[in-house]
Every structure is written in structure tokens, then in C-alpha cells.
């Protein structure tokens, strides 16, 4: 039976870095995949004019549409919460935005950030999703999976629980699509040996895969599963 999947990411590109392969696989298997991006991904960069910022924002939106199309997902409207300033917003407002989308699309599976990621927006998004997913009677979401975002999750230091995956998706047949989608996010990607390079994305996928005897995988931490 086909499922409805909702991916909730802080910034454009996090969704593909975190679970682009799983999105492509869900889509190929007939599931409906929606992506909700909370922040605009531009504002945190200092020293650019409003005009340049608007242009960069437009370009990033086009990239996001293209990238999500590549993995068979529909991009929901950008929420445009200020990049890396989400901590200045009321958590309840972010929760309400997410609750409204859950109410509308009734996903059974949600993918989002790891709650102890290095990036503040990633942590807040995760917290807001967990709050929006309080399991009240009749609640639609049966599975919440936390993804890792290369160049952020692994940059966290000692003192918090490290990302320790316990749920894996074989993306051997979908790694190419994930890399293709990331090429649409050209402005966000960096050259090897930066952690956020296409090479490193492929390395991580092969590492996660080989940990299980697979060619390529994405790994997650199961937040909650109900069956
Ligand atoms: Zn991000």
C-alpha cells in the first residue's frame, strides 16, 4: 500500500543530504513524498545587499524545486523562517506551521533532523517536529526518523549523544539520483575535501552501506515507530 512521506528540513539541501536516496526510493515504490523546508538558507551569510539576497533566494528556490523533482518529491512552500535565527522565533510558532502541514497531508512517515545536531536550526526543527508529533489518539504519523546532514551532524563535539544509526535504507540503486539532485544545489556544495562535497556524500553512502554489506545506504535513528 502506498504511503505518504513528509520530509521536514531546516534549509534547502538538508532534505537531499539527509534522505535524498530514501526519498527517491519511496517515490520509485509508489509512495507520495512531500518536502517541507523551514528556513530560507540565505540570511546567515553576511555582507550581501537585499537585492542580491532576493536573487540568491530565487535561485535557491529553483534549485530546491529541481532537486526535489529529481528524487520524485513535491516541494511544499518555503516557510522562510530566518536562517540561523530560528532560535529567536517562538518554538510554538514553528510547531504550529508543522502541525498544519501534518494535518493537511496526513503522512505516516516523517524524516527530519537529529535532535542533537550541531546546527541550531536543525536542532530547533527537530524539536518542533517532535512536539508537533505528540501521539494523540488517531494520530497519523507512525514512524519518525532522524537523518544525518553531512558537514553538520558529524561536526558536533563530545558532550552530547553522538549520532548512532539504528535504521538503514538501501540506496544502492538511488545514490546516483541523490548525487544528481545535489548537483541542482550547486551553490550549496563545496569542492573535495570539504565535508559537504559530492565525493564525501558518496563516501558516506558507501560507508553506511558497507557497514551492512550493501553498496550504498542512508542511515537514520528511529525516533519513534508504531505498528
Ligand atoms: Zn541545514
For the chain, what are the domain ranges?
4-225
Cα torsion angle, 87, 88, 90, 95, sign: negative
pTM: 0.94
Instruction: Report the separation in Å between the CA atom of 209 and the middle of ligand 1, taken as the mean of its atom positions.
Output: 23
Q: Which CATH superfamily is domain 4-225 in?
A: LmbE-like (3.40.50.10320)
Distance 11 CA to ligand 1 centre (A): 4
CA of 226 to the centre of ligand 1 (A): 28
What's the CA gap between 97 and 99, in Å, rounded? 6
**Rounded CA separation 200/178 (Å):** 13
Length of the chain: 227
CA of 202 to the centre of ligand 1 (A): 18
Per-residue pLDDT band at 174 (split at 50, 70, 90): very high
- At residue 44 the predicted structure's pLDDT band, cuts being 50, 70 and 90, is low
Please provide the average confidence, as pLDDT, over all residues in the chain.
93
User: What are the tens digits of pLDDT across the range 152-164?
Assistant: 999 999 899 999 9
- Give, for 89, the enclosing helix (H) or strand (E): none
Ligand 1 geometric centre to CA of 216 (Å): 23
Q: How far apart are CA 187 and CA 203, in angstroms?
A: 21
Q: Does residue 149 have a pLDDT over 70?
A: yes
Q: How far is the CA of 138 from the centre of ligand 1 (A)?
A: 32
Residue 58: name the closest of 76, 74, 78 by CA: 78
Q: Is the dihedral of CA 225, 171, 103, 35 positive or negative?
A: positive
Amino acid at each position: 500500500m502506498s504511503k505518504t512521506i513528509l520530509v521536514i528540513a531546516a534549509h534547502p539541501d538538508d532534505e537531499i543530504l539527509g534522505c535524498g536516496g530514501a526519498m527517491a526510493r519511496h517515490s520509485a515504490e509508489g509512495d507520495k513524498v512531500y518536502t517541507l523546508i523551514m528556513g530560507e538558507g540565505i540570511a546567515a551569510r553576511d555582507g550581501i545587499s537585499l537585492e542580491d539576497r532576493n536573487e540568491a533566494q530565487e535561485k535557491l528556490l529553483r534549485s530546491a524545486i529541481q532537486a526535489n523533482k529529481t528524487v520524485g518529491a513535491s516541494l511544499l512552500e518555503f516557510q522562510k523562517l530566518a536562517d540561523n535565527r530560528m532560535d529567536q522565533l517562538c518554538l510554538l510558532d514553528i510547531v504550529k506551521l508543522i502541525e498544519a502541514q501534518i494535518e493537511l497531508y496526513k503522512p505516516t512517515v516523517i524524516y527530519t533532523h537529529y535532535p542533537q545536531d550541531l546546527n541550531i536550526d536543525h536542532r530547533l526543527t527537530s524539536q518542533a517536529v517532535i512536539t508537533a508529533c505528540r501521539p494523540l489518539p488517531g494520530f497519523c504519523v507512525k514512524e519518525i526518523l532522524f537523518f544525518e546532514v553531512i558537514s553538520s551532524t558529524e561536526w558536533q563535539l563530545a558532550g552530547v549523544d553522538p549520532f548512532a544509526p539504528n535504521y538503514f535504507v538501501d540506496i544502492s540503486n538511488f545514490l546516483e539520483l541523490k548525487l544528481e539532485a545535489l548537483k541542482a544545489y550547486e551553490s550549496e556544495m563545496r569542492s573535495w575535501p570539504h565535508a559537504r562535497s559530492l565525493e564525501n556524500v558518496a563516501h558516506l553512502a558507501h560507508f553506511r552501506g558497507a557497514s551492512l554489506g550493501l553498496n550504498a545506504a542512508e542511515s537514520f535513528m528511529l525516533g519513534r515507530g508504531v505498528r
